[in-house]
Amino acid sequence: MNPLKIAAAALGALALVAATAAVDWTHKVTQTPAGAFVLGNPAAKTRLVEYVSYTCPHCAHFTDEASAPLRKYVASGGTAVEIRHAVRDAVDLTATLLARCTGPAHFFAAHDKLFATQETWFEAAGRYIEANRDALEKAKQPQQLQMVAKAAGLGPIVGLTDAQVNACLANTAAEKPVIAMTEEAWQTRKIPGTPYFMINGTGVDATTSWAALEPHLKRN
């Protein structure tokens, strides 16, 4: 082969390797056929699935301690994180739908923000529900969720306007993948609680902290 062609091919290969290495996979978000959001390289060797509930304090604690170090695993393309919803109550459903309505590019930011502010908005929602049970019982579900979202201040937290919040929560079709994931979590898989993790399809039991989870990631 012509030496010039060999050199050109070698340079092209080096450029491809450099370009691949330069990819920061923490900016890549895709969706599974079931509707779950995935952060990172869709073809990553390690797929970490996390079942979450936005009203779960253990989930908030895990996200607080794990978000930054976990993104280091994601950045290289070797690990991808898939979020599946295991909804526990109406407030959780409200927060879940709003996080998902921000779209793939903003979902994980909304996810982190909901957990970072969980105590504030969850307590506000609880106070509102306790004081307005009669009005909530008379309202239909979309209106119930809208009332709770406004009282809890969830729109500004995830970056949605009042109009966007109302449109999101009125879209009953948006509930279908969330309900399906929830049923898969609690009824089919029978997870013991949230957060619950799987690595490459295998459950990681008795693990709710980053310190307990990271050794499993290192082995994959």
pLDDT in tens, the chain (220 residues): 554 454 444 445 444 444 445 789 999 999 999 999 999 999 999 999 999 999 999 999 999 999 999 999 999 999 999 999 999 999 999 999 999 999 999 999 999 999 999 999 999 999 999 999 999 999 999 999 999 999 999 999 999 999 999 999 999 999 999 999 999 999 999 999 999 999 999 999 989 999 999 999 998 8
CA distance 46 to 76: 11
The answer for residues whose C-beta is within 8 angstroms of residue 173's C-beta and 6 or more apart is none
CA distance 51 to 67: 15
Closest-CA residue to 37 (of 177, 150, 135)? 177
Contact 60, 105 (CB under 8 A): no
The per-residue pLDDT for 21 is: 54
CA distance 48 to 37: 12
Strands 196-199 and 37-39 turn out to be unpaired
Residue 6 sits at φ, ψ, to 5 deg, of -65, -45
Cβ atoms < 10 Å from Cβ of 187:
9
Q: Is 161 left (phi over 0), alpha (psi -120 to 50) or beta?
A: beta
CA distance 122 to 114: 10
Contact 55, 163 (CB under 8 A): no
